[in-house]
Amino acid sequence: MRRLLRNMWTNAGTARELVAFLRHQKQWWLIPMVVVLVGFGLFLVFASASGVGPFIYSLF
């Protein structure tokens, strides 16, 4: 498990740079905003790829 996480961390260059930037600039308040935006984006991608895509419009 540790090896898998280490491989994922080395392959995630953009995410690693973003976390390093936020840590260096002491901008911890941006982390929840980034997590919400990524989660919302993943929700839209997975929902549009499945059969529930037309029903998402009723949520908004």
Instruction: Check residue 24 and give its pLDDT.
Output: 87
pTM exceeds cut of 0.85: no
- The pLDDT tens digits for 3-38 are 776 776 677 777 778 888 888 888 888 888 888 988
pLDDT class of 60 with cuts at 50, 70, 90? low
If DSSP codes are grouped into helix, strand and coil, which group holds residue 34? helix
Residue 53 banded pLDDT, cuts 50, 70, 90 = low
Q: Quick one: DSSP state of residue 50?
A: S
Cα–Cα distance, 23 to 14 (Å, whole number): 14
